[in-house]
Each structure stands twice: as C-alpha cells, then as structure tokens.
Structure 1
C-alpha cells in the first residue's frame, strides 16, 4: 500500500512539474517584444546575443567579431516562451521568457556555456541586421549587427571566412548599404509581420533598413 501511495505522489509531482514548465505565462511575450526583438550580453565572455521570436519560429544572432564569434541560428519552435535552437556548426541556444525578458544560455561547439539575460529593443533603429544579396554571396561577405542604439552596437564581419574589422551602422542617414572594398552591399533588418494567408500568425521577415523605421 505504501508503495502504491508513493507511486501516485511521484506521478503527481512529475505532472505538476510538466504542467508548470509548459504553462503559458500571463504576460504576452509578443507585446513585450514588439517588432524589434531582444538583446543582451553573455555573462563571462565579451559577446552579445540578439533574438527575434515569432509564433512558430525564431532567429538568434550571437556575435563579437573582435573575438571571432559569429553564430546565426534560425529554425522552427513549438513554444515561443521556452525553446532551444541549434545550428549546423553545433552552437545551441536555450531560451525562456521570464519577467518581461529572455533568460537562457549559449553553448558553443567547444561545449563552453554562457548564460544571458536579454531585454526588449526599444530605441529607434534598434534591431538585428544582416548584409543580404547575391553580390554578398558571390563575394563571400557575411556581416551582422545587434543595434541597441547607434552608439551601442555589436556585430561581426567575415570576408571569405576571415574575420575583419566590423564597420559601424548609421541610424541617422538614409543609407541601407555598407561600403566594402569600393562595393555597396545591402543591409536589411529582421522584423515581425503577419502572413498574407493568416493575419494573426506572426512570422519573421527581413526588411530594408531605413532611417525612420515604422
């Protein structure tokens, strides 16, 4: 009889733990996030993380070109309040929405793990940016930025897989290009929007970087 009671209590505890883990918080993550996403610094290393979350997908950028860190992760998710993403290089990011911010950890391919707390991006021009276009692919240009504001930005730039000094992005002019080796490469920003078939479903889009983002 005692063993039966213990089994029932153990099952109840497990059920409660699973229920609490999967329970959707009362605070709406999408109202807190807006269109720009979240950003924060990794604890214990000079690197930064930007995150943008939709209903069933997310994109994450971990970077600091000065110490040769550039990791993009994008993929499907089931629960926007708690999920993991992993990229082809072996970097894994665990994310949970807690108290109006994101808490989580980044585990790199060398198995080093660093925690972070990310806050919503609020400033004009803030967001997660990336160089795009066929010319960038042909020239093997890969660049990205996390902008908290024009004076607070972090990113990385590689040319043919070699890290270079990361240029600063300006949010005070109308340019949506960066100049590298006398060539202009488009820079776009990731944003949240609705699909044409389902206006209530949030998806991640990459849009042209403009001075006055609406």
Structure 2
C-alpha cells in the first residue's frame, strides 16, 4: 500500500476495528489461571483460549491461503481429517504462549496481505465450494472483522462469568459507573421487569 493508494482510508478503518477486537480477545486472557483460560463455560464448550486459537486460524486462512499467501504455519486442527471443533479449544500440550504467539504471527501475516494487495484483489477460499469460492480482499477482511468482533463479544461474557471483570478494552470499560451494590440492584430490577413482562404476556394469551 502506498501513500497514494485511494483505498488507504478504507484499509485503515478495517484494520482499526480488526485490531481492536484482536486486542480485546487477548486482554480477556490476562490474569487468568490455565484452568480458567481453557474451561468451557457454555454447553457447547466455548472458552477463552479456544476463541484465540480459532481467531488465529481464521486470519491465516482468509487473509493468507485465500490470496496465495500461505503462512507456513502448521494448522492440523483445520485439516480435512481433523476432529470436529478442534480449532475451538487448546490441548493441554498447546500452551497459552503457543496460542498467543500464533495469534500475533497471524496478525502480522494478515496485515501484510492487507498492505500488499488492493481491496479488489480476488482470491479463492480453499475450503468453500468451487462455484462460489472467489472473494475479494475487501470481502475477506470484512468477514474476518465481523468474526473477530463477534468472538470478542463472546470473550466479554465469558470473562464476566469467570470473575466479574468487564470492559470494552484496557483502559476503557464502556459501562456506567456503579459499585457492586448498584449493579446488584440493577440486575434485580431487570429480573423483576422480565418477570412482569412474562406475566403480562401470559395474561394476554389466556382466554
């Protein structure tokens, strides 16, 4: 990308929102034990370190292989013969440093692709059906931003469930001020409101 690249402002916007989600995902890991970083907190096994592993794999695929720029990183968990959901959790032998390091390398590789190619560059997603495998870089980056932001939201909820920590990113919590008592009363108010709404709905359905 050069200083005269007319798509530079669009690339800057895309990268800004991608980087904010990347940073959030890693920030949500800070200060956690190995167990809490990996423990499944939903019935489908969603966990913080697994979200990072998945996000790294997505970037290396959509913003690497898709545009003929393989990273060289071995990703056996996304191979055709891998077990289902293998990219969504880290094995005991895959350390936190390994997963975080992989993610940092994925950032660098994806950012290099974004810098090197025009947004209208057409690539092919290797794992999509051949009749619709072609995508532009603009489409691919937008898809990765959406995916990463979605998982950053998952991470917000997982971390709050673990230890009550909340916040949009480091240094900016983006929530109203309030002590523990304020939040307890706020939650109780929402609970009462939900029950009231259910009662009204049930009454309206009654013959």
Q: Quick check: which one's strand share is greater? A: 1
User: Above 0.5 in TM-score?
Assistant: no
Q: Quick check: which one's helix share is greater? A: 2
Considering Cα pairs closer than 8 Å and 6+ residues apart, tell me whether 1 or 2 has the greater RCO.
Answer: 2
Q: TM-score, normalised by structure 2?
A: 0.25
Q: TM-score, normalised by structure 1?
A: 0.24
Bigger Rg over Cα: 2
